[in-house]
Amino acid sequence: MKRNYGIVALIMLFWFVISFITNILGPLIPDIISNFDLKQLSLAGYIPMSFFLAYAVMSIPAGILIEKYSEKTVLLMGFSMPFIGSLIFVLMPSYPVLLASSFIIGLGMAMLQTVINPLTRVAGGEENFAFFSVMGQLVFGFASFVSPFIYSYLVRELTSINTHTGIVVKFLSNITPPNLPWVSLYWIFTVILICIILIVIKVHFPRMKLQEEEKSGSFESYKILLHNKYVYLFFLGILSYVATEQGIANWISKFLEQYHGLNPQTEGAAVVGTFWGLMSLGCLAGLVALKLFDSKIVLRYAGFLTIILLCISLFGTAEISMFCFPLIGFTISVMFSIIMSLGLNSVNKHHGSFAGILCSGIVGGAIGPVVVGSLADTFGLRIALLSMLITLGYIISISFWARPLVNNRTISIKELLSRKKA
């Protein structure tokens, strides 16, 4: 089959847009609390909750959609939802509308992530799928790294308009409430999404044929899986990972502001951006680690390192916190893929249905930030973030009780070095 690398490049653009929009909430949390006068931190946690709740609602239906409709139809639906969500928020910027907007955006992102992986396999070829998947992760991480800096730039420029201000910023200043400069980001999202929708309309996409593990599966397959205890245990694993990732990432900026007096629009945003950037680099380091060591060992040490870094970040000085919080992104980067692979390798059939169930565990992103925010209202944000030790403890436990039918293939360091010489 002819490979279409133009489509692969377009898919990389899709990953950039998805990440650019998805992971900006963390840096925005302090502004949301301040500008919408939220008296309780838990209310801020409801913003990421509404986004990830949409993932839980749409993960399995999205799989059904790509079996019933063409990939172009699902892509158009997927990008139209965040366009609608962003547009309604910039037209009516308020806390309730932001909740609704985040949910609508989340619905679209769930659709997109379901269709993009099989589309990558078809366009780039099965033999290149792993390579392009890693490339997609790198692009995803790069966009998450860039978006907080663009947020900082827009806020800085919109709060100091002068004769040297660029035409784009001046235009944004005319359509953005002066007291809500960060809302300009949602205008940027709206414009980007219009462009992407027009591109999708014009481009001809190769017809996909889903593999067994990409299909949503029958009702009977779900019924069989739900009698397997490991389905629940690995679902909790994915839920714990996403709760940890989002529970930490969404509160870093507020923590640095509250305990160290750092500006969330500059230093806080930079730390969050670096967190996502190092997560991307961690994926590459994880690929090497998984060639050398059993995945359960990699998961175990990643978990323990994350616990150490989290404790140091919470109780260290400002400089130490700014250094260690981003490193957490590096250490947790391998967790999602390892938990997913250990889960799928623990059953011998119905992988498509099991993958759908596991992906529903992304609802952990709805739980983590709210739990931290709710605990922070009573005990303070530092103690609240320690609750992430519970989810990390569960993730570490997986490395002890998981019994996959197939283990990842490893090679010794000696073999690796001899291959390089050859």
pTM as predicted: 0.87
Residue 253's closest CA among 326, 180, 302?
Answer: 326
| Helix (H) or strand (E) run with residue 171 in it | helix 167-175
Rounded distance, CA 247 to CA 26, Å? 9
Rounded distance, CA 156 to CA 313, Å? 27
- What are the tens digits of pLDDT across the range 11-39? 999 999 999 998 898 899 999 999 999 99
| Residue 392 pLDDT | 97
| Residue 4 pLDDT | 76
Provide CB contacts within 8 A for 268, sequence distance 6+. Answer: 27, 30, 252, 253, 254, 256, 257, 262
| Residue 163 pLDDT | 67
| Residue 419 pLDDT | 55
| Residue 71 pLDDT | 80
Give me the domain span that covers residue 398.
5-421
Tally of domains in the chain = 1
| Residue 212 pLDDT | 58
Q: How many residues does the chain have?
A: 422
The alpha carbon dihedral of 108, 244, 301, 327 has a sign of positive
- What are the tens digits of pLDDT across the range 164-176? 778 888 899 999 9
Q: Which two tokens stand for residue 260?
A: 């160290």
| Residue 101 pLDDT | 96
Provide CB contacts within 8 A for 163, sequence distance 6+. Answer: none
CATH of the domain at 291: 1.20.1250.20
Residue 343's closest CA among 334, 355, 331, 352?
Answer: 355
Q: Is 418 exposed, middle or buried (0-12, 13-18, 19+ CB in 10 A)?
A: exposed
- Those residues of the chain that have pLDDT short of 50 are none
Rounded distance, CA 289 to CA 359, Å? 24
| Residue 70 pLDDT | 78
